[in-house]
Structure 1
Amino acid sequence: MFHSSFICRKTILPQMAFACALLSAQTPLQKSIPEKEGISSEAIIKFLTAANKIESTEFHSFMLLRHGKVVSEVYWNPYQKDLKNRLYSCSKSFTATAIGFAVQENRLKVTDKVISFFPDKQPSEISDNLKELSIQNLLTMASGMEKEPEFIRGSENDWVKAYLAVPIDNKPGSKFNYSSLATFMLSAIIQKVTGQTVADYLKPRLFDPLGIKDYDWENNSQGVNTGGWGLRVKTEDMAKFAQLFLQKGKWNGKQIISEDWINEASSVHILQNPNAGEKLKSENDWVQGYGYQMWRSRFNSFRGDGAYGQYMLVLPDEDAVVIITAESNNLQEELNVVWDNLLPAFDTKTLAENKLAYQKLKNLENNISIESLKSEIFPKINKTYSFADNSDKYQSVSFISKGEKLEVKLVIDGKSYPFRFTSGKWNQQETMRIQPTSDKRSLTDSYKLYPAKITNSFRWRDENTLELKTIYLETPHSHWMTVSFKDNSIDFELKNSADFGAKKMTLKATEIK
């Protein structure tokens, strides 16, 4: 349980303190040479080499901090330092931190009952379990609901009212059940008690002191930040957040958020699988316990954790932080490459200088990339095709080949989307075309996401088969299109990496003379 002495402590942080914290914000993070911070450049090279060999994971960015300093920072081209990342469930850790600030300012207690904040949205009959549902139950994913009530995310719903109407099958606090909507309810509570969205509430308390500037957070149709997902920040901002937790809430010598809260948030409050055997616990980072929107990991570590392998990993015993953004369908394998290559390499003392290894590391960091599509042949084409009727409202597609460059224009539901593809390298642009996502209902107020930053490349597999790839640079995802040319028609195959190609769609189109 959360310490009652801390719950009741009146430590409302004055606005003057926010201003001072802002003035002292350390941005960007300090950098150092790996050996000076007790880890060898060779170990980081080994990690990056191993990461590149994992078929299940496409790495996009990586940061390693030791003793508060960046010793390695990598962006797999075409991903770049100044781009935001769709955090998915790493957003949850930020929402929980907003609750921590509200507790610190005596605006609420983790023992407060959820229904007490929404008297106008309660169901006509309030069950005993709903009466008992507390903020702490939401923080620890222990609402008592048997499964995630996905239907609530429809834009026509009042999400808070719909959530409170869902039956709670088990006693709150008795059973772990991961739920993004539980975190949304935390966001709604913050907005109820402060009159601000979580993002606005965190701005002077967290974002400004840490120098986090370029961020956005999706809202639902009622104007509430989604909480459990929808935050976008840069890789360095993720590192700052994790480093704040490693430093027990202190930033540039100032206590931004209470050390008590950091300790509580990162401690085990509930087990995901209480019956897990020793073998499973020795191999699996998802059965180590759960804190306040933080996962405990092996080796006395904890993490913010987002879909497809977005990680803010804090290793207190090593005084280190590891940040990864990626697209993965094997999240354990992604973490294992950290445990296998970096964890054994942390030393308690400064290492001898190794200029050769350090230069090799810098060369690798600067040249690592995701391979673009490259064509060996360049058939000429200048044609437009009309799609047969389809539920996704694709109307036409046109192609104009210019050697190593290719222009493609898609018309979907009356809107035109031009794309520029290059063979052998990435061609960056922006688009209004809807980006891939694991759940279209998550794109709640999509104006924040557009125009989307994308990059494109193409290749001809043979004289009649064209492959096109579009990466959405501020997400983990990409679109793939394969066009099979016939006499006067095409088969146009579309798939996206958000579902790893599982929902492949093939449309037929006829040439417009």
Structure 2
Amino acid sequence: MDRRTFLTAASAALVARQAAAQAPARQWQSQSLTEAGFKPDASERIEKAFAAGELKGLHGLVVLRHGKIAMEHYFSGADEIWGDSRGTVAFNADELHDLRSVSKSIVGLIYGIALGEGLVPKPAAPVLASFPDYRDLAADADRQRIKIEHVLTMSMGLAWDESLPYTDPRNSEIAMERAADRYRFILEQPITRPPGEAWTYSGGATALLGHLVARGSGQRLGTYASSRLFAPLGIERFTWTNGMNGEEAAASGLRLRPRDLAAIGQLLLDKGHYGGRQIIPADWVEQALTERSQRSDGLRYGYQWYLGRDRAGDPWYGAEGNGGQRLIVAPKQEIVIAVTAGNYNQPGNSRLPLRVAREFVFGALAS
């Protein structure tokens, strides 16, 4: 969903943030398709569809059912790291992949962990109270009404447009990257409507959240994420691409393996609990997955997470990113779907993961 290609000096911007060895690697359990409640030919159908060119750009698929791996597939294809070409990559279970805007949803969880530790402002707090150097902005009474909750729900009421190509300097996220002070740039944008009135897609909102976590914890965002989320969840490796200001690109720079992305989905399904530890406060999981605002297409939004209902009316929640990155959690069916793909910046790139989920996962359930 981030639709990002910031091509200038992308390879120079890449900085690896390796997860600290604070927890053993996750030991995944697998089950047969029939044990998981899928039709016995479900995996074969995916392989045949890819070979026939029907799933162009698909790189990886991990499906969990009842906390165990039911399906896992990897393919070869052209890939990028934040817009920098990697050529053709033969993907496997150990290969990291750009998550693009799925990063936003994970930053939302990291913010909740930091909030539980008293390191970041509560949702009801005014945003500008965290930026005392911006006295001129704080003098604007209308701007003072913007709260952290409006940042979490992308409803700040500030002008922001990422509909332009990410090669266009008028794109708000690219303009943010090029600004001397990205946080002032975000907060000084013209007010277009009252905060909380409407959802507006904004990588700037997530950049603010990542910055507050880093400042509150006294650590880089990736370092804090490693110690509080990734390592406790048994995630051994990740990288987080830096933005042009040298800080992690909170909105789009995270790279994980598909299994580890699925593990985050399962963590939400388990109310933030894993390995005998409450990794994410259970109340934050509930708050993050509560409807707060709505996109123009009717899809609901919580705290950096998308919320919806399937055709039967059953709820799901998830995250999405440019190129076909997708995490879908269906609590009633106890299914977690992690998709990685390489259709970056292509029109309709969200159709691939949706087709995979609808036709080859939910459509393959035995009953």
TM-score using structure 1 length: 0.58
Q: Give the superposition deviation at 1:217.
A: 1.2
Specify the code of the residue in structure 2 equivalent to 1:144.
G
Specify the code of the residue in structure 2 equivalent to 1:80.
N
Number of the residue aligned with 1:143: 156
SS at match of 1:183: helix
Q: Is this contact kept in 2: 1:249–1:262, CA < 8 A?
A: yes
Q: Is this contact kept in 1: 2:97–2:255, CA < 8 A?
A: yes
Q: Work out whether 1:294 is the aligned partner of 2:294.
A: no
- The worse-fitting range, judged by mean Cα deviation, of 246-255 and 177-186 is 246-255
Matches within 5 A, 1:36-55: 36-50=35-49, 53=52, 55=54
Counterpart Cα distance in 2 of 1:174 and 1:146: 13
Report the structure number with the largest CA radius of gyration. Answer: 1
How many residue pairs were aligned? Answer: 316
- The worse-fitting range, judged by mean Cα deviation, of 205-214 and 60-69 is 205-214
Counterpart Cα distance in 1 of 2:140 and 2:208: 18
Residue 304 (structure 1) aligned to one of 300, 305, 319: 319
Matches within 5 A, 1:344-493: 344-346=363-365
SS at match of 1:317: coil
Identity of aligned residues (%): 29
Residue 206 (structure 1) aligned to one of 222, 229, 246: 229
Number of the residue aligned with 2:334: 319
Q: Work out whether 1:92 is the aligned partner of 2:91.
A: no
SS at match of 2:355: helix
Specify the code of the residue in structure 2 equivalent to 1:106.
G
Specify the code of the residue in structure 2 equivalent to 1:227.
A
Q: Is this contact kept in 1: 2:238–2:254, CA < 8 A?
A: yes
Q: Is this contact kept in 1: 2:206–2:251, CA < 8 A?
A: yes
| Change over 3 Å in CA distance of 1:34–1:252 after alignment to 2 | farther
Residue 226 (structure 1) aligned to one of 229, 243, 249: 249
Q: Work out whether 1:70 is the aligned partner of 2:69.
A: yes
Counterpart Cα distance in 2 of 1:327 and 1:235: 13
Q: Work out whether 1:238 is the aligned partner of 2:261.
A: yes
Number of the residue aligned with 2:168: none
Q: Give the superposition deviation at 1:79.
A: 1.7
Q: Is this contact kept in 2: 1:63–1:70, CA < 8 A?
A: yes
RMSD over aligned CA atoms reads 2.3
| Change over 3 Å in CA distance of 1:62–1:122 after alignment to 2 | farther
| Change over 3 Å in CA distance of 1:305–1:102 after alignment to 2 | same
Q: Is this contact kept in 2: 1:214–1:233, CA < 8 A?
A: yes
SS at match of 1:200: helix
Residue 113 (structure 1) aligned to one of 126, 148, 151: 126
Q: Give the superposition deviation at 1:47.
A: 4.0
Q: Give the superposition deviation at 1:26.
A: 5.5
Matches within 5 A, 1:7-26: 22-23=22-23, 25=24
Q: Work out whether 1:197 is the aligned partner of 2:220.
A: yes
| Change over 3 Å in CA distance of 1:171–1:322 after alignment to 2 | same
| Change over 3 Å in CA distance of 1:104–1:124 after alignment to 2 | closer
Counterpart Cα distance in 2 of 1:52 and 1:137: 45
| Change over 3 Å in CA distance of 1:87–1:243 after alignment to 2 | same
Counterpart Cα distance in 2 of 1:97 and 1:153: 23
| Change over 3 Å in CA distance of 1:36–1:155 after alignment to 2 | same
SS at match of 1:123: helix
Q: Is this contact kept in 2: 1:142–1:174, CA < 8 A?
A: yes
The structure carrying a bigger strand percent of its residues is: 1
Q: Give the superposition deviation at 1:158.
A: 1.0
SS at match of 1:297: strand
Residue 185 (structure 1) aligned to one of 188, 208, 220: 208
Counterpart Cα distance in 2 of 1:53 and 1:114: 51
SS at match of 2:300: coil
Counterpart Cα distance in 2 of 1:268 and 1:52: 39
Specify the code of the residue in structure 2 equivalent to 1:292.
Y
Counterpart Cα distance in 2 of 1:316 and 1:177: 27
Specify the code of the residue in structure 1 equivalent to 2:62.
M
Number of the residue aligned with 2:58: 59
Q: Deviations over 1:364-418 (max 9, x none)?
A: xxxxxxxxxxxxxxxxxxxxxxxxxxxxxxxxxxxxxxxxxxxxxxxxxxxxxxx
Q: Work out whether 1:343 is the aligned partner of 2:362.
A: yes
Counterpart Cα distance in 1 of 2:124 and 2:47: 44
Number of the residue aligned with 1:131: 144
Q: Give the superposition deviation at 1:92.
A: 0.6
SS at match of 2:63: strand
Number of the residue aligned with 1:464: none
TM-score using structure 2 length: 0.79
Number of the residue aligned with 1:334: 353
Counterpart Cα distance in 2 of 1:340 and 1:156: 43
Q: Give the superposition deviation at 1:125.
A: 6.2
Number of the residue aligned with 1:28: 27
Q: Work out whether 1:157 is the aligned partner of 2:169.
A: no
| Change over 3 Å in CA distance of 1:127–1:50 after alignment to 2 | farther
SS at match of 1:335: helix
Counterpart Cα distance in 2 of 1:174 and 1:48: 45
Structure with more contact order per residue of length (Cα contacts < 8 Å, sep ≥ 6): 2
Specify the code of the residue in structure 2 equivalent to 1:315.
A
Q: Deviations over 1:445-466 (max 9, x none)?
A: xxxxxxxxxxxxxxxxxxxxxx
Show structure 2 runs of 5+ residues with no match.
1-19, 77-89, 162-171
